[in-house]
Amino acid sequence: MRYWLLKTEPDTYSWNDLKDKPNQSDIWEGIRNYQARNLLREMKKGDLAFLYHSGSGSKTIMGIIKIVKEAYPDHTQFNSGSKYYDPKSSKNSPRWDMVDVQFYKDIIPPITLDELRKQSGLEKMMLLKKGSRLSIQPVCESEWQLILSLRS
């Protein structure tokens, strides 16, 4: 099993959007960065990820989600009415993928970015590196366990 951090703007897709669908999965679509797409393609069914609210509001880890379906073509790339439309993609040669995710566990209270920055042992975490903007990031097992220990 691997661990991840998936960023989302809460006004686009919030923790509650997923939490309000218990025992249901939802799509994680709209990735349009090649490095993030390649990481998405590494995700396996059963992997866990922190859902992180980014953007102008409070930057926080809200909870844990589970990957329930591995990468497959993101249908929004083919829809000319979608903000994620990519005219260079075709159904025969899709460029972008998505995964299906499911609510797994709340983190109460959410863990703030400031709290993570103050935590010894997370200095190498991708999220905390200057200029790190990828919407999908790997989290090593020691970082994962350390973050979980903040709320145990």
Element (DSSP H or E) covering residue 28: strand 25-28
Encoded amino acid at 82, one letter: S
Cα–Cα distance for residue pair 123/143, rounded to 1 Å:
9
pLDDT value for 56? 74
pLDDT value for 22? 81
pLDDT value for 91? 93
Cα–Cα distance for residue pair 23/89, rounded to 1 Å:
32
User: Could you give all domains of the chain from N- to C-terminal order, each with its CATH number?
Assistant: 3-149 (3.10.590.10)
60-93 pLDDT, tens per residue? 999 999 999 999 999 999 999 999 999 999 999 9
Burial class (CB in 10 A: 0-12, 13-18, 19+), 139: buried
Structure tokens that stand for 139 in this block:
């989290």
* Residues of the chain falling short of pLDDT 50: none
